[in-house]
Amino acid sequence: MDKIKDFASDFFVTGDPLIYGADVAIVLVTVAIVAVLTYFKKWGWLWREWLTTVDHKKIGIMYILAALLMLFRGGVDALLMRTQLIMPNMDFLKPEHYNEIFTTHGVIMILFMAMPLMFGLFNIAVPLQIGARDVAFPVLNSLSFWLFFMGAMLFNLSFVIGGSPNGGWLAYPPLTEKMFSPGVGQDFYIWGIQISGIGSLMTGINFIVTILKMRAPGMTLMKMPMFTWSVLASSLTIILAFPILTVTLALLFIDRFLGAHFFTLDGGGNPMMYINLIWMWGHPEVYIVILPAFGIFSEVVATFSKKKLFGYTSMVFALMSISVVSFFTWAHHFFTMGSGANVNAFFAISTMIIAIPTGVKVFNWILTMYKGKISFKTPMLWTMGFIPCFVVGGMTGVLLSVAPADFQFHNSYFLIAHFHQVLIGGVAFGYFAGLYYWWPKMFGFSLNEKLGKWAFWLWNIGFYVCFMPQYVLGLMGMTRRYSTYGWDTGWFGLNLVSTIGAFLMGAGFLFQVWQILHSIKFMEKDTTGDPWDGRTLEWSIPSPAPMYNFATDPQVREVDDWWEEKQRLASGGAPRPKPALEPIHMPKNSGMPFIKATFWFIAGFGFVFDWMWMAIPGLIGVAACMLAHSFNYDTDYYIPVDEIERTEAAARRGV
Amino acid sequence: MAQHPTGHSHDAHGDSHESHGSLKSYVIGFVLSLVLTIIPLVAVLNDIVEGTAARVVLLVTAVLQFVVQLFFFMHLREEKKPRWNLMALILGLVIVLTIVIGSIWIMTYNAVA
C-alpha cells in the first residue's frame, strides 16, 4: 500500500492548489466529453467524420481547434507569469513553478500554438487556392496532424503527471542534463517535441509536393496566389530545419538516457554545441512561422484594397530569399558566447541583410493600399495593426543584431519585448487575419464584425501596454526569467503597466471566443461563397467547399484569376464554357494515422518514465501500422457524376 | 490524389511513369555500396590507415556512398524537367555544408578544456 502511495506521489504532481484545481477540471471535462458523445451516440460519427478523415479541410479545422486550445493554455501561463511579476516580492508562484511556467509558455506558444495554427491555415487554403482536390498525400497529412496532436498531449500531460520541464523553451544543457534535471520533465519535453516534429516535417514535404505538382491547369508558378508562395517558402525551410531539431534533441536524449557525453561538461562533451545546433533550427523556425503570415497579409491587403498586389515578383523574391538567408543568421542568438569578432561580424551582417527583403514587403503592402478602395473589415484591421507593430519589432531586431550592443541587450527584457513584438504583432496578428479571412470558407458564415473589432482593439492596445514598458525594463537591467524582484530595483511601475496590458490581451482572447460562439448562433449563412469579393480560386466555389472542392478543374489564365474573371463578366464578357462533369477520384478515409500516433504516444510515455515494457510495445505498434499500411491497396474511390450534380445543386441553393 | 480517370497534367500520379531502374542498375548499386562499406571497415579495423588518413578514407567513402545511393536507388538522373529533386538536393547540400562548416568555425573558439 505504501508502495502505491509512494508511486502516486511521484507520478502525479502534488502540493499545489492550482494544479489540484486543474486536475479536477481535466477529469470533469473528460467525463463530460465522454458522457455527451455516449448520450448522443456520436462515437461512430467522431471516428468516421473526424478521427479517420483525410479531407484537408477537416484536418485544417482540427489543427485550428487544437491551436486555439493551446493558445488558451499558453495564454494562461503568460497571465500567471505577469501576475507573479505585478509587484515586487510577490509570493504567487514558487520559483520552481515559475520556471516550469515560462518553459511551457514558450514551447506551447511556438510549437503547439503557432505551428498548428499555421498548418491549419495551410490545409484550409492551399489546395483551394491552387485548384486541387486534396493535398498530394492525404493519409500522410492526417498522420501529420495526429502526430502533432499526440506530441502536444504528451507535452501537456507533464503538467499533472510527473512534473513539467523547467529548463527554458530551448532546454539548454548542462542544466537539462540528467545530473541537473533528474526528473521526467525534460523527457516529456524531448518526446513531445520529437513526436510532433515528425509530423511537422511530413507536412512540409506534403505541401511542397502539393504546390509543385497539383496546381490547376494554366497556373504557372508565377501565377500562384501569394499565400501559396509563402507556404512553399515556409515548407522549404521546414524540411531543411526540422531534421536539425530532431537530431539535436535525439543527442540530448542519448545523453540523458544512455549516459552519453555530447553536451555534458565532462567526458569530452560541450554544452555550447547544443546551443549552436538548436539555433540552426530555432532561427529558421521563426521564419517558418512568419512567412505564411506575410502571405496572409498579402492576400488580405489586396482583397480589401480592391487592388492587385503591388510588386508580385519582388514579393516572391523576398519570400524565397528570406527562406534561404534565414539559415545563415543563427549565431546572433548567442553573440555573447564568445565566438570571436569574425564570427559575430559575419552573423551580425547576415542578420541585417535579412531585414532588406522584409522591408521590401512592407513597402509592397503599403503601396498596395495606396489609392485603393480600402474596407476596414476585421482581417484588414489585423493587417493594418500588424504593419507598424512589425516595423518597430523589426527595428529593435536590427538593434539587437549589432553584436557589441547585444552584449547589453542579451537576455534582458529588451529581447523579450522584441521577439514578442514580432511574434504577436507578426505571427499572431497574421494568423488571426487569416482565420477571420478564411472562416467563411471553412464554415459557411462570417464572424461577427463588431465583437471582432472589440477583440482587435483589446489585443492591439493591450500589446503596446504590455510590451513597450518591457523595452524600458530591459534597458533598466531587468533580466528574463526572474521570478521576483525587490522594491529597490525601481521596476515596479513598469511591471504593473505591463501586467495590465497582458490582461487586456487576455480580454481580447475572451472577446474572440465570444465572437465565435455568438457567430455560430446568430450569423447568417453565406450563400455566395465569396463574402469578401475575393481574388483567388478558393472564392469561386461554394462555402463550405464540397468534399471534392472543385466540380471541374479550373482553368487558370492569370494572377488573381477569379477576380479577373468577375471583372470580365461584369463588363459583359461571355462566361467560359463549363466542361462536362466527370467522376472524381478521391482518397478513402484511413484509421491508420490515428492508431499509429497513439502508439507513438504510448512509446513516448514509456521512454519518459524509462518503462521499456511500455516503450517497446509502443514502437512495435508503430512498425506494425507502417507494415499494415504498405499492404493496403484499398485507398481510393470515385464520386459518381450524379452525386456531384446533387451536391453542386444543393450548394447553390444554400442549404 | 485528385485525378480524373482520363488524367490531367497536374495529377500527382498521372504523369509520373518514369523509369524506376533495371535489375542490372540495382545490382551494380548494391555491389558498389557493399564495396564502399567494406573498404573503410577493413581499413580501420586492421589499422591499415591511422589518424588523418583514416578520417579521409572514412569521409571519402561516405561521400561516394551518398552518390551511389542517389544515382542507383534515388534515380536522380531519370527525373524529368523541371528537376525539383535535383534543386532540393543542391539546396540541401548547401545547408548541410553551412551547418558543418559554420559549426566548426563557431566552435573553434569555444573548446571546453
Of B1, B9, B11, the CB nearest to A636: B1
For residues B76 and B101, membership in a common domain is answered with no
For residues B93 and B74, membership in a common domain is answered with no
For residues B65 and B88, membership in a common domain is answered with no
Only one residue has cell 462555402, namely A543
- Average pLDDT over chain A reads 93
What are the grid coordinates assigned to A452, written together? Answer: 471582432
Only one residue has cell 513516448, namely A604
Q: What percent of chain A has pLDDT over 90?
A: 85
For residues B72 and B105, membership in a common domain is answered with no
Amino acid (1-letter code) at residue A113: M
Residues 100-129 of chain A with CB under 8 A from chain B are none
Please give the residue of chain B at the shortest CA–CA distance from A208.
Answer: B84
Give Cα separations from A5 to A1, A10, A163 (angstroms).
6, 9, 17
Mean pLDDT to the nearest integer, A345-353: 94
For residues B60 and B42, membership in a common domain is answered with yes
* Residues A309, A280: Cα–Cα separation, whole Å: 33
What are the grid coordinates assigned to A512, written together? Answer: 474572440
Give Cα separations from B7 to A128, A135, B10, B15, B33 (angstroms).
19, 17, 8, 8, 38
**Is A273 near chain B, with CB under 8 Å?**
yes
CB contact under 8 A, A240 and B102: no
Domain of residue B106: give its range.
81-113
Are A559 and A535 in contact by the 8 Å Cβ rule? The answer is no
For residues B42 and B96, membership in a common domain is answered with no
* Residues A60, A116: Cα–Cα separation, whole Å: 9
| In chain A, domain spans | 1-41, 42-573+591-653
CB contact under 8 A, A132 and B2: yes
CB contact under 8 A, B103 and A636: no
Are A417 and A470 in contact by the 8 Å Cβ rule? The answer is yes
- Which chain B positions have a beta carbon within 8 Å of A208's beta carbon? 88
Q: Which of A213, A320, A321, A346 to mutate to test the interface with B (most CBs of B within 10 A)?
A: A213
**Is A133 near chain B, with CB under 8 Å?**
yes
CB contact under 8 A, A585 and B5: yes
CB contact under 8 A, B10 and A213: yes
**Cα dihedral sign for A216, A219, A221, A223?**
negative
Mean pLDDT to the nearest integer, A368-387: 95
For residues B61 and B108, membership in a common domain is answered with no
Give Cα separations from A478 to A272, A556, A603 (angstroms).
24, 56, 42
pLDDT exceeds cutoff 60 at A583:
yes
Largest Cα–Cα distance of chain B, in whole Å? 68
What are the grid coordinates assigned to A456, written together? Answer: 482587435
pLDDT the model gives residue B74: 81
Among A409-413, A561-565, A637-641, B106-110, which stretch is predicted with the lowest mean pLDDT?
A: B106-110
Q: Which of B1, B83, B84, B93 to mutate to test the interface with A (most CBs of A within 10 A)?
A: B1
Nearest to A444 by CA among A357, A519, A543: A543
For residues B61 and B107, membership in a common domain is answered with no
Mean pLDDT to the nearest integer, A430-439: 96
Q: Which of A172, A262, A324, A327 to mutate to test the interface with B (most CBs of B within 10 A)?
A: A327
Helical (H) or strand (E) element with A587: strand A584-587
* Residues A616, A622: Cα–Cα separation, whole Å: 10
Residues 325-344 of chain A with CB under 8 A from chain B are 327-328, 330-331, 337-340, 343
Please give the residue of chain A at the shortest CA–CA distance from B113.
Answer: A268
Are A588 and A142 in contact by the 8 Å Cβ rule? The answer is no
- What are the pLDDT digits (tens) for B38-89? 999 998 888 888 888 888 999 999 999 989 988 888 888 777 778 888 888 8
Only one residue has cell 472589440, namely A454
- What are the pLDDT digits (tens) for A299-326? 999 999 999 999 999 999 999 999 999 9
pLDDT exceeds cutoff 70 at B4:
no
Among A64-78, A88-102, A641-655, which stretch is predicted with the lowest mean pLDDT?
A: A641-655
Of A217, A328, A549, the CB nearest to B9: A217
B53's CB contacts (< 8 A; 6+ apart) are none
For residues B66 and B102, membership in a common domain is answered with no
A128 CA: distance to closest CA in chain B (Å)? 12
- What are the pLDDT digits (tens) for A208-262? 999 999 999 999 999 999 999 999 999 999 999 999 999 999 999 999 999 999 9
For residues B72 and B96, membership in a common domain is answered with no
The torsion angles phi and psi of A636, rounded to 5 degrees, stand at: -150, 165
* Confidence bin at B12 (pLDDT 50/70/90): very low
For residues B68 and B99, membership in a common domain is answered with no
Of B5, B12, B95, the CB nearest to A240: B95
Please give the residue of chain B at the shortest CA–CA distance from A132.
Answer: B2
SS3 content of chain B, % helix, strand, coil (to 5): 65, 0, 35
Q: What percent of chain A has pLDDT over 70?
A: 100
CB pairs under 8 A between A and B: 93
Instruction: Give A401-404's long-range contacts (Cβ < 8 A, gap of 24+).
Output: A401/A332, A401/A348, A401/A351, A401/A352, A402/A348, A403/A332, A403/A335, A403/A344, A403/A345, A403/A347, A403/A348
Of the options 3.90.1150.10, 1.20.140.10, 1.20.210.10, 1.20.1530.20, the CATH number for the domain spanning A42-573+591-653: 1.20.210.10
**Is A280 near chain B, with CB under 8 Å?**
yes
* Confidence bin at B13 (pLDDT 50/70/90): very low
SS3 content of chain A, % helix, strand, coil (to 5): 70, 0, 25
DSSP characters over A9-74: HHHB--S-HHHHHHHHHHHHHHHHHHHHHHHTT-HHHIIIIIIT---HHHHHHHHHHHHHHHHHHH
- Which chain A positions have a beta carbon within 8 Å of B100's beta carbon? none
pLDDT the model gives residue A653: 63
CB contact under 8 A, A584 and B12: no
* Residues B50, B57: Cα–Cα separation, whole Å: 10
pLDDT the model gives residue A654: 52
pLDDT the model gives residue A550: 92
Are A255 and A264 in contact by the 8 Å Cβ rule? The answer is yes
- What are the pLDDT digits (tens) for A436-468? 999 999 999 999 999 999 999 999 999 999 999
- For chain B, what is the domain count? 2
Of B6, B95, B103, the CB nearest to A276: B103
* Confidence bin at A267 (pLDDT 50/70/90): confident
Mean pLDDT to the nearest integer, A126-150: 96
For residues B75 and B89, membership in a common domain is answered with no
pLDDT the model gives residue A266: 86
**Is A587 near chain B, with CB under 8 Å?**
yes
pLDDT exceeds cutoff 70 at B7:
no
Strand partners, A12: A161
